[in-house]
């Protein structure tokens, strides 16, 4: 048995499946189960959740024996920045308009890359935003603000 | 002849100026985006999907199909010129295609890829036209039990045949089914797994899931890899293959088409497995197998024919039975559902112009690929030089705007970021996302059929084993599972 569980890909995958399956079963307890001939809304999800737990257990135990590692480690920073850039877009799109949303999105996303060159990112932002505004707002006539109120 | 009438109808639809234009735009956009390094067909389709929502069903599907094979062909171009496959299906093309490019024969390699794809595409379209109605008529006999068994078979097969671990594949299918259940239950009106978020009462949006899993997760994973690119572009002079090239590749193209056509209809196999299988086959039948991997033209022609034939025939189960066999087909099916069309055998009867129009336009699309790509190679080559650090923020931009535009709701965008994080974790843990999206698409239907079948049989589960067609699907499912458990096969899969 190997004990580096944080990088054990099968152990973690199994754990993830068990957690999601368990959550599904627990939540489904609030839904009427019904019976086989007349299934309630809780029946199918409970079966699926149980199945996911079983499959997860198998994968997890196998991971304990094989000890196979996650390849390349965990890259938290690019992932977090990409996710952030998307969230920022949604947040500003609704409140400030498309241009601020795109500026925030581009800068956050570009920070996730290997190199960050300010001038290049600025140019990319300007060009792509102009393109997006041209295509989506003037071309396809989507009803979005450019800036707040416009 | 029925088929002639149908094809005539199809071509009259496809040749309308509007549809022709959408086919052209689809193929062009698909190739344009597909050629970009690190952007595979799935990312391309997921990203461009929202654009088609504004269109009526026929042009939308025509355009999506165009994007699909455009992206696939674009992927081959990247494989040949940069040795950087956008997806597994074109990984095989790298072996010999890139070597040909290094020997200064990039032109013939690209041309033979286009010609092989075109031939395979023509055969594929013909097969759809022949097999579609037969399969569709047969499927009209299906009741709830048959559909449930068929879906079960499809999902199990997809988990077994997709690359990667089988048990994880099955778990991903179940996870997909669970995600598919999120939303309001049709029978009871109860909102399930919505966590109090009103936006979730319609379920997890299809675009949100596709873009999050395939585009966002893919970008995050790509950013960790080292960017190593060598573009062999200086020597693209003669585009046309010589007579000998054509002669050498004619039989491989035919064999590749045959293998691809069969693999295309198998759930989970699709283009990727078929191109590997034909490559192996060509190596076996070749007089001098040592040439492979060193720039043998057969090594480009056969897999390209195979993956295109598979791409075409994978439309058969999707259009006639409503069963997607690959992640791409799941996206197509989702797009169809978003257009308000319930996929299944009745589509062919109730919407013949859709079914046959799409088929005819596939043929036109394949022709457009040949016409478009040979002269545009120079443009694609320039695109190949665009650095990834400019590309990925732009891809995210299209994804964001696309998702936002579906419901004009920021919650969808937040959800997509969450799905992206989940997708990244799954990629790192080597869990294939393709079975998940198949499960997601089939989830609600499967539950509905299960409930209905057991309601009719008054709770007697033997209904799945006493009706002959359903029994056949069940036997096939057990067979697929048995093959998976057989240790010899498992050993091979890991190799």
A73-94, pLDDT tens digit by residue? 777 888 899 999 999 999 998 8
Rg (C-alpha) for chain B, rounded Å, is 22
| CA distances, B456 to each of A41, B153, B464 (Å) | 17, 21, 12
Does the beta-carbon distance from B220 to A75 stay under 8 Å? yes
Cβ-nearest to A110 among B181, B185, B393: B393
- Does residue B45 have a pLDDT over 60? yes
Spatial separation of the C-alpha atoms in residues A63 and B382, rounded to whole Å: 45
Spatial separation of the C-alpha atoms in residues B243 and A53, rounded to whole Å: 59
- Does residue A146 have a pLDDT over 80? no
What b/e string do you get for B416-446 counting C-beta neighbours within 10 Å, with b at 16 or more? Answer: bbbbbbbbbbbbbbbbbbbbbbbbbbbbbbb
Which has more confidence, B244 or B62?
B62
- Does residue B381 have a pLDDT over 90? no
Cβ-nearest to B400 among A37, A40, A89: A89
Spatial separation of the C-alpha atoms in residues B244 and B230, rounded to whole Å: 29
Chain A interface mutation, best of B428, B445, B458, B485, highest count of A Cβ atoms under 10 Å: B428
With CA atoms as reference, the chain B residue closest to A74 would be B428
pLDDT confidence band for B268 (50 / 70 / 90): low
> Closest Cα to residue B482, out of B267, B256, B166?
B166
Does the beta-carbon distance from A41 to B396 stay under 8 Å? no
Spatial separation of the C-alpha atoms in residues B303 and B309, rounded to whole Å: 10
With CA atoms as reference, the chain A residue closest to B404 would be A90
With CA atoms as reference, the chain A residue closest to B402 would be A136
pLDDT digits (tens, 9 = 90+) for B277-293: 888 888 888 888 888 87
Which has more confidence, B374 or A130?
A130
With CA atoms as reference, the chain B residue closest to A58 would be B167
Distance from the Cα of residue B341 to its chain's centroid: 20
Cα torsion for A83, A85, A91, A92, to the nearest 10°? -170
Query: What is the pLDDT at residue B374?
Result: 74
DSSP, res B345: T
DSSP, res B213: I
Does the beta-carbon distance from B401 to A132 stay under 8 Å? yes
User: Tokens in use for B315?
Assistant: 């439309």
- Does residue B130 have a pLDDT over 90? no
Q: Residues 6 or more apart from A76 whose CB is under 8 A from it?
A: none
Spatial separation of the C-alpha atoms in residues B224 and A81, rounded to whole Å: 13
Does the beta-carbon distance from B220 to A109 stay under 8 Å? no
Does the beta-carbon distance from B420 to A83 stay under 8 Å? yes
Does the beta-carbon distance from B429 to A79 stay under 8 Å? no
Per-domain boundaries in chain B: 2-229+243-494
Does the beta-carbon distance from A82 to B425 stay under 8 Å? no
Distance from CA of B286 to the nearest CA of A (A): 37
Distance from CA of A1 to the nearest CA of B (A): 19
Chain B interface mutation, best of A27, A31, A109, highest count of B Cβ atoms under 10 Å: A109
Rg (C-alpha) for chain A, rounded Å, is 23
| CA distances, B257 to each of B41, B108, B171, B373, B376 (Å) | 20, 19, 33, 21, 25
User: With contacts defined as CB-CB under 8 Å, which chain A residues touch B429?
Assistant: 9-10, 12-13, 16, 70
Contact call for residues A42 and A29 (beta carbons, < 8 A): yes
pTM as predicted: 0.84
Does the beta-carbon distance from B224 to A72 stay under 8 Å? yes
Q: Poorest-confidence range of B29-38, B80-89, B207-216, B347-356?
A: B80-89
User: With contacts defined as CB-CB under 8 Å, which chain B residues touch A128?
Assistant: 393-394, 397
User: With contacts defined as CB-CB under 8 Å, which chain A residues touch B174?
Assistant: 21, 48, 51-52, 55
User: With contacts defined as CB-CB under 8 Å, which chain B residues touch A31?
Assistant: 190, 192
Query: What is the pLDDT at residue B495?
Result: 39
**Region A11-34: what's the mean pLDDT?**
92
Q: How many CA atoms within 13 Å lie on the side-chain side of B79?
A: 29
- Does residue B362 have a pLDDT over 50? yes
Cβ-nearest to B178 among A52, A89, A121: A52
Residue B133 dihedral angles phi and psi, to the nearest 5°: -60, -40
User: Tokens in use for A64?
Assistant: 């304990």
Spatial separation of the C-alpha atoms in residues B451 and B112, rounded to whole Å: 51
Does the beta-carbon distance from B178 to A86 stay under 8 Å? no
Average pLDDT, chain B: 83
**Under DSSP, is residue B294 helix (H, G, I), strand (E, B) or coil?**
coil
Spatial separation of the C-alpha atoms in residues B44 and B29, rounded to whole Å: 9
User: Tokens in use for A120?
Assistant: 């290049």
């Amino acid at each position: 048995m190997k004990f580096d569980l944080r990088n054990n890909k099968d152990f973690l995958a199994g754990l993830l499946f068990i957690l999601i399956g368990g959550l599904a079963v627990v939540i489904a307890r609030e839904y009427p189960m019904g019976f086989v001939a007349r299934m309630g809304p809780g029946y199918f999800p409970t079966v699926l959740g149980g199945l996911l737990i079983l499959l997860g257990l198998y994968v997890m135990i196998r991971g304990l024996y094989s000890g196979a590692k996650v390849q390349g480690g965990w890259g938290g920073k690019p992932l977090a920045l990409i996710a952030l850039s998307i969230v920022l877009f949604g947040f500003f799109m609704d409140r400030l308009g498309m241009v601020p949303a795109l500026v925030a999105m581009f800068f956050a996303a570009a920070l996730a890359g290997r190199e960050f060159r300010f001038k290049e990112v600025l140019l990319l932002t300007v060009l792509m935003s102009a393109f997006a505004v041209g295509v989506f707002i003037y071309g396809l006539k989507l009803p979005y603000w450019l800036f707040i109120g416009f | 002849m029925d088929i002639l009438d149908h094809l005539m109808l199809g071509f009259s639809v496809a040749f309308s100026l509007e549809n022709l234009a959408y086919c052209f735009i689809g193929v062009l956009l698909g190739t344009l985006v597909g050629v970009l390094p690190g952007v595979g067909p799935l990312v391309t389709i997921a990203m461009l999907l929202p654009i088609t929502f504004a269109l009526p069903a026929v042009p939308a599907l025509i355009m999506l199909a165009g994007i699909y094979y455009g992206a696939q062909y674009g992927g081959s171009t990247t494989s040949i010129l940069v040795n950087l496959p956008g997806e597994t299906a074109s990984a095989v093309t790298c072996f010999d295609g890139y070597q040909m490019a290094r020997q200064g024969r990039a032109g013939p390699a690209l041309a033979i890829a286009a010609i092989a794809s075109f031939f395979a595409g023509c055969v594929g379209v013909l097969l759809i036209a022949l097999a579609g109605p037969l399969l569709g008529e047969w499927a009209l006999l299906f009741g709830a039990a048959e559909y449930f068994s068929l879906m079960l078979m499809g999902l199990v097969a997809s988990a077994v045949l997709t690359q990667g671990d089988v048990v994880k594949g099955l778990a991903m299918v179940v996870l997909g089914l669970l995600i598919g259940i999120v939303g309001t239950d049709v029978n009871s009106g109860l909102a399930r797994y919505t966590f109090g978020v009103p936006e979730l009462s319609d379920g997890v949006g299809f675009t949100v899931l596709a873009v999050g899993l395939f585009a966002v997760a893919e970008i995050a994973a790509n950013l960790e890899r080292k960017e190593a690119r060598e573009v062999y572009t200086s020597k693209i002079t003669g585009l046309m293959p010589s007579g000998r090239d054509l002669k050498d590749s004619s039989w491989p193209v035919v064999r590749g088409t045959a293998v691809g056509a069969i693999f295309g209809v198998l759930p989970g196999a699709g283009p990727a497995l078929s191109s590997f299988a034909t490559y192996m086959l060509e190596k076996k039948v070749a007089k001098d197998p040592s040439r492979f991997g060193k720039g043998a033209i057969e090594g480009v022609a056969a897999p390209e024919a195979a993956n295109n034939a598979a791409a075409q025939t994978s439309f058969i189960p999707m259009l006639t039975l409503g069963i997607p066999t690959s992640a791409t087909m799941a996206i197509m099916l989702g797009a169809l559902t978003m257009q308000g069309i319930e996929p299944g055998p009745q589509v062919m009867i109730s919407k013949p112009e859709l079914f046959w129009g799409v088929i005819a336009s596939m043929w036109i699309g394949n022709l457009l690929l040949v016409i478009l790509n040979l002269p545009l190679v120079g443009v694609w080559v320039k695109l190949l030089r665009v650095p990834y650090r400019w590309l990925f923020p732009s891809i995210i931009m299209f994804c964001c705007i696309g998702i936002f535009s579906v419901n004009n709701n920021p919650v969808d965008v937040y959800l997509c970021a969450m799905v992206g994080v989940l997708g990244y974790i799954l990629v790192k843990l080597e869990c294939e996302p393709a079975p998940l999206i198949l499960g997601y698409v089939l989830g609600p239907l499967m539950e509905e059929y299960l409930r209905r079948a057991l309601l009719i049989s008054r709770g007697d589960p033997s209904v799945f084993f006493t009706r002959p067609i359903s029994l056949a699907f069940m036997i096939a499912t057990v067979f697929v599972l048995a093959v998976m458990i057989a240790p010899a096969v498992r050993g091979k899969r890991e190799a």
